[in-house]
Homo-oligomer: A and B are copies of this chain.
Amino acid sequence: MKIKVINPNTSAGMTDGIRNAAEVATRPTTEIIAVSPDMGPASIESYYDEYLSIPGVLEEVKKGDADAYVIACYGDPGLQAAREITTSPVIGIAEASLYMASMLAARFSVVTVLPRIKTMIEELVASYGMQHRVLHVRTTPMCVLDFERDPEAGMEMLRQEGRRAVQEEDAEAILLGCAGMAEFADELEKELGVPVIDGVVAAVKFAEAMVDIGKKTSKLKTYKYPEKKQMTGMLSNFSWG
């Protein structure tokens, strides 16, 4: 089966890391197509970035070249729209990490990048009904690409915040709140002694599971194909039907 993992930002290095995490986690017969869209932000650290990453994400889903799609940014940008334009399952890494964590731990914390996205993640968690499980959304002074540029500093930062989460608020699992943190998950789990959930891994595994059993996105109502529609200007190639 083919699972397409879409890194909504355009950093090739980060896409490589995501591909690697996905390939390690999936079965040999599962083909991982990890891509960055042709357009969009170099990284995602604001609502502005997030919304502008969505056209690129949708373009990748529209290609229809996979059995399932994973949106590999912790804001799950464009998730519901992606579900409208395919019958294949589409999974966001935030939702996947929350559901997987809920099956392994009673209470947990998210560790993510800059403080400004704390509210964004809190609202996302609430929209999934998971606010009773999440103790704290912890932020760091590092932006997304800092983790790529200086992985050692990144690991140290995650270690510190993860440790504080475990010790100060009894976090029983740690959720990595950025697709660029995949590479740190295993070591962090060993050091902290609690499950560390990387959303990319969670999502590709759930994708594999759902493709195995032939599950498809419901097209009854909310996720029906979009209405036929003319798009104009720069976005004209997004016209539908």
A232 x B116 contact (CB < 8 A): no
- Whether A195 contacts B215 by the Cβ 8 Å rule is yes
A residues near B (Cβ < 8 Å) are: 10, 25-27, 37-43, 45-52, 54-56, 58, 78, 80-81, 83-85, 89-91, 95-96, 99-100, 102-107, 114-116, 118-120, 123, 126-133, 143, 166, 170-173, 193-195, 197, 201, 205-206, 208-210, 212-213, 215-218, 220-224, 226-227, 229-236, 238, 240
Identity of the chain B residue whose Cβ is nearest the Cβ of A38 in the assembled complex: B233
Residue of A58, A78, A105 contacting most chain B CB atoms (<10 Å): A105
Taking a contact as CB atoms under 8 Å apart, the answer to whether A234 and B234 are in contact is yes
A128–B129 contact, CB under 8 A? yes
* Distance in Å: Cβ of A185 to nearest Cβ of chain B: 10
Least Cβ distance of A106 to chain B in Å?
A: 4
Alpha-carbon separation in the docked complex, A205 to B118 (Å): 31
Number of copies: 6
Which residue of chain B lies nearest to A133 when distances are taken between CB atoms in the complex? B129
- Cα distance A85–B52 in the bound complex, in angstroms: 13
Q: Point out the residue from B45, B47, B58, B233 that lies within 8 Å of A40, measured CB to CB.
A: B233
A205 and B232 CA atoms in complex are apart in Å by: 30
A103 touches B129 (CB 8 A): no
| Residue contact A235 to B55, C-beta cutoff 8 Å | yes
Q: Of all chain B residues, which has the CB nearest A174?
A: B218
Closest to A236 in B: B39
A40-B231, A55-B55 given; A210·B100 CB < 8 A:
yes
Chain B residue nearest to A117 in the complex (CB): B222
